[in-house]
């Protein structure tokens, strides 16, 4: 604790004292630094670094998850995964989710951000309404839409009252795929919108004034002032959404449980099913390693590709 | 466009709203688009809430209506007292997890972030890079080997094992945000306290940590939402056999089997989302601010 009323002489004395004790005080400081850093470093190594290495080691084994015994089986798990049509289908659907989901979330998010970035009560309320699903668990979002879109759900009930045939939202493979993607977009675009609004607000007003003086329309202002100025925010949004959607699982589990006919299984769904329902954690680990490599590659590629767009602004 | 240079000063204030500058047609299109989107966002929530108070037949036949004649609290009460999913216990356990993860996350992250922020050597930078690399490792990828590690430690299917994993998962973002914030705290405070004879650890907890309130609030918001909504980690690490259910794993256990019995589904979902929606409405500005900070700085 700092004492408030230290006499000046006492202070000076202590300062001199600290100066004379410098070597040992420095040692004490260093020891304190190690003591302060060590717990976090240990936990991080145990839960991140060791598992990263273990993921690769386990991917070369037939570990079943229960015992601590396993045999090394070389690259059999990788070979199996790449030849398994289920895994390929899951990878393709995950890629479709990631690409279309990212485009839709960002297009809708940016468009709405441009419309309601201003101050005012109505805009604040609309932001809340568009954003709220993001803070609800994806599992619950999945169960909600599953109940609403099932053959006897609210949506088909309403279609029935206006004399329309029921739509197989969850029971036809193509419809189910579209339903999964649209549900994800419904729950996620609000987050992208919030980030875009933060970006738009940080653009200096002078830029718009200059553009208005030059006679630019609102659309021209948006295209030639807003979009280039928020290029870094666009990058963050694209990377976060793309990388996040590669890991989609909870919402699929609740919405379709991977069905109908396994048409909506994602890669993480496949990993967890192989690992825990089939007790083949070695196989799951192999697929995890592949997913990690793909995630890192895509994250880096998008960040790198966007550099050009970002640099234009700073030049 | 009817704007001229003269109205610039007034426009500066109202520029972003600017609807008065739009043609009536553009304003109409804008409000139709916003109104339609708002309906798409709100109607599902509305149906969820009213369906929790109706019998099955009413839910299916009249999804958008709620009439006093069929209004009932019976199904909500059934959900609260369900033997499949003890909501009150799940609230308590999940809140306990949220509190413990926040506590350990801050206890672990704050001192190391302080060491990193004050350090001038290369290994301080290396330490920060080590933690930040964790941002790029998805939890699903490490989950399988984490099960192995926890099995070796004898912590699988236990609350300490789960708390350990969840806390570790919060470290990268937290340490990054904390050290970025601490760089803005002047060193004078440390030096004044050192002059007073306080050791480094004591300086940190009694002089520096109290200044970190805003960034601690951001981190608590991010962690709380993350832990409350997490499904995969409690499902795998705690496991169905442990008998410990969080709100999400409890909902999965209760709704998964009865997904066509809407008198079970809707009341259960309502109970599951009620706390987080109330929390969101009260803490809205902090939550949105925290998420923006976590995403753009991280």
pLDDT(B13) > 70:
no
DSSP string over B226-238 = HHHH--HHIIIII
Calculate how close chain A gets to B195, using CA atoms only, in Å.
6
**Residue A3 burial by Cβ neighbours in a 10 Å radius (0-12, 13-18, 19+):** exposed
> Which chain B residues contact residue A281 at CB under 8 A?
144, 147-148
- Give chain A's mean pLDDT: 87
Closest by CA to B296, choosing from A245, A233, A302, is A233
Asked if the Cβ–Cβ distance from A52 to B259 is below 8 Å, we say no
Compute the distance between CA of residue B167 and CA of residue B99 in angstroms, rounded to an integer. 11
pLDDT(A15) > 60:
no
- SS3 category, A72: strand
Q: What are B48-51's contacts with CB under 8 Å, separation 24+?
A: B48/A144, B48/B266, B48/B269, B48/B270, B48/B273, B49/B270, B51/A154, B51/B262, B51/B266
CA distances from B134 to A71, A163, B142, B150 (A): 29, 54, 11, 19
A10 touches chain B (CB under 8 A): no
Which of A18, A113, A144 is most worth mutating to test chain B (most B CB atoms within 10 A of its CB)?
A144
Asked if the Cβ–Cβ distance from B44 to A157 is below 8 Å, we say no
Calculate how close chain B gets to A108, using CA atoms only, in Å.
10
Asked if the Cβ–Cβ distance from A146 to B259 is below 8 Å, we say yes
Q: How many CB atoms lie within 10 A of CB B61?
A: 15
pLDDT in tens, B122-144: 888 899 989 988 887 777 778 88
Q: What part of A 92-111 touches B (C-beta under 8 Å)?
A: none
- Give chain B's mean pLDDT: 86
DSSP letter at A262 equals T
A36 touches chain B (CB under 8 A): yes
CA distances from A296 to A182, B39, B145, B194 (A): 25, 38, 19, 43
Q: In the numeric block, which tokens belong to residue A240? A: 């976060």
Sequence-distant (≥ 6) Cβ neighbours of residue A166 within 8 angstroms: A151, A156, A159, A160
Q: In the numeric block, which tokens belong to residue A56? A: 């690769």
pLDDT(B14) > 50:
no
- ipTM of the complex as predicted: 0.87
Give me the domains of chain A, ranges plus CATH numbers: 8-59 (no CATH), 76-314 (1.10.3720.10)
A234 touches chain B (CB under 8 A): no
Sequence-distant (≥ 6) Cβ neighbours of residue A242 within 8 angstroms: A98, A99, A102, A298, A299, A302
Task: Please tell me which residue, A193 or A70, carries the higher pLDDT value.
Answer: A193
- Asked if B128 and B116 touch (Cβ cutoff 8 Å), the reply is yes
- Asked if A65 and A281 touch (Cβ cutoff 8 Å), the reply is yes
Compute the distance between CA of residue A228 and CA of residue A234 in angstroms, rounded to an integer. 9
- Average pLDDT on B20-26 reads 72
pLDDT score of A312:
63
> Which chain B residues contact residue A47 at CB under 8 A?
142, 146, 149, 164-165, 168-169
Element (H, E) at B161: helix B159-183
Q: In the numeric block, which tokens belong to residue A238? A: 């694209």
Provide φ and ψ at B155, rounded to 5°: -110, 5
- Average pLDDT on B242-261 reads 85
Compute the distance between CA of residue B239 and CA of residue B231 in angstroms, rounded to an integer. 11
Residue-range domain boundaries for chain B: 23-72, 87-297
Pick the CATH number of B87-297 from 1.10.3720.10, 3.90.850.10, 3.90.1150.10, 1.10.620.20: 1.10.3720.10
Q: How many CB atoms lie within 10 A of CB A75?
A: 12
> Which chain B residues contact residue A200 at CB under 8 A?
16
Provide φ and ψ at A61, rounded to 5°: -125, 175
Asked if the Cβ–Cβ distance from B251 to A131 is below 8 Å, we say no
Compute the distance between CA of residue B78 and CA of residue B249 in angstroms, rounded to an integer. 18
Asked if the Cβ–Cβ distance from B115 to A33 is below 8 Å, we say yes
- Average pLDDT on B276-280 reads 90
pTM: 0.87
pLDDT score of A25:
65
pLDDT score of B139:
73
pLDDT in tens, A281-306: 999 999 999 998 888 888 888 888 88
Compute the distance between CA of residue A151 and CA of residue A166 in angstroms, rounded to an integer. 7
CA distances from A21 to A9, A10, A166, B83, B196 (A): 18, 16, 83, 66, 14
pLDDT in tens, B190-244: 888 888 888 888 889 988 999 999 899 989 988 999 999 999 999 999 987 778 8
Compute the distance between CA of residue B206 and CA of residue B213 in angstroms, rounded to an integer. 13
């Amino acid at each position: 604790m700092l004492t408030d009323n230290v006499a000046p002489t006492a202070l000076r004395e202590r300062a001199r004292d600290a100066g004379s004790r410098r070597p040992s005080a420095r040692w004490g400081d260093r020891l304190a630094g190690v003591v302060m850093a060590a717990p976090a470093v240990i936990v991080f190594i145990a839960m991140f670094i060791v598992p990263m290495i273990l993921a690769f080691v386990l991917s070369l084994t037939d570990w079943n998850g229960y015992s601590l015994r396993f045999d090394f089986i070389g690259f059999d798990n990788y070979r199996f995964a790449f030849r398994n049509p289920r895994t390929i289908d899951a990878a393709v659907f995950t890629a479709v989710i990631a690409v279309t989901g990212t485009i839709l979330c960002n297009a809708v998010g940016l468009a709405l951000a441009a419309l309601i970035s201003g101050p005012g009560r109505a805009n604040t309320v609309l932001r809340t309404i568009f954003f709220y699903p993001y803070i609800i668990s994806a599992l619950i979002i999945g169960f909600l839409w599953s109940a609403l879109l099932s053959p006897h759900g609210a949506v088909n009930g309403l279609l029935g009252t206006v004399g329309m045939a029921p739509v197989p939202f969850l029971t036809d493979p193509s419809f189910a795929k579209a339903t999964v993607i649209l549900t994800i977009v419904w729950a996620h675009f609000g987050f992208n919108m919030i980030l875009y609004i933060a970006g738009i607000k940080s653009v200096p007003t002078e830029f718009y004034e200059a553009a208005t003086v030059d006679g630019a329309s609102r659309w021209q202002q948006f295209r030639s002032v807003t979009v280039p100025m928020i290029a870094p925010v666009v990058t963050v949004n694209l990377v976060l959404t793309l990388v996040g959607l590669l890991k989609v699982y909870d919402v699929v589990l609740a919405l379709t449980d991977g069905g109908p006919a396994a048409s909506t299984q994602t890669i993480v769904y496949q990993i967890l099913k192989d690992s825990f329902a089939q007790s083949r954690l070695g196989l799951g680990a192999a697929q995890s390693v592949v997913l990690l490599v793909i995630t890192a590659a895509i994250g880096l590629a998008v960040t790198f590709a966007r550099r050009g767009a970002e640099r234009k602004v700073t030049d | 466009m009817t704007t001229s240079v003269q109205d610039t000063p007034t426009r500066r204030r109202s520029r972003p709203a600017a609807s008065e500058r739009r043609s009536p047609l553009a304003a109409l299109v804008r409000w139709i688009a916003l109104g339609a989107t708002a309906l798409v966002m709100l109607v599902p929530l509305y149906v969820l809430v009213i369906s929790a108070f109706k019998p099955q037949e009413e839910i299916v036949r009249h999804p958008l209506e709620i009439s006093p004649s069929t209004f009932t609290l019976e199904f909500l009460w059934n959900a609260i007292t369900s033997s499949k999913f003890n909501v009150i216990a799940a609230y308590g356990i999940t809140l306990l997890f949220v509190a413990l993860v926040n506590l350990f996350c801050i206890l672990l992250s704050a001192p190391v972030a302080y060491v990193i922020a004050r350090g001038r050597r290369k290994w301080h930078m290396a330490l920060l890079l080590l933690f930040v690399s964790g941002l790029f490792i998805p939890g699903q990828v490490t989950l399988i080997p984490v099960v192995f590690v926890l099995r070796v430690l004898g912590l699988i299917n236990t609350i300490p094992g789960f708390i350990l994993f969840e806390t570790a998962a919060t470290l990268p973002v937290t340490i990054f945000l904390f050290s970025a914030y601490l760089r803005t705290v002047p060193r004078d405070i440390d030096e004044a306290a050192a002059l007073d004879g306080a050791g480094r650890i004591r300086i940190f907890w009694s002089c520096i940590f109290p200044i970190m309130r805003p960034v601690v609030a951001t981190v608590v918001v991010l962690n709380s939402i993350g832990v409350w909504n997490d499904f995969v980690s409690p499902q795998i690490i705690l496991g169905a056999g442990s008998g410990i259910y969080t709100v999400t794993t409890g909902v999965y256990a209760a709704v998964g089997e009865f997904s066509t019995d809407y008198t079970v589904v809707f009341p259960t979902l309502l109970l599951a989302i009620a706390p987080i929606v109330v929390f969101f409405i009260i803490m809205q500005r902090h939550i949105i601010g925290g998420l923006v900070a976590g995403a753009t700085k991280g």
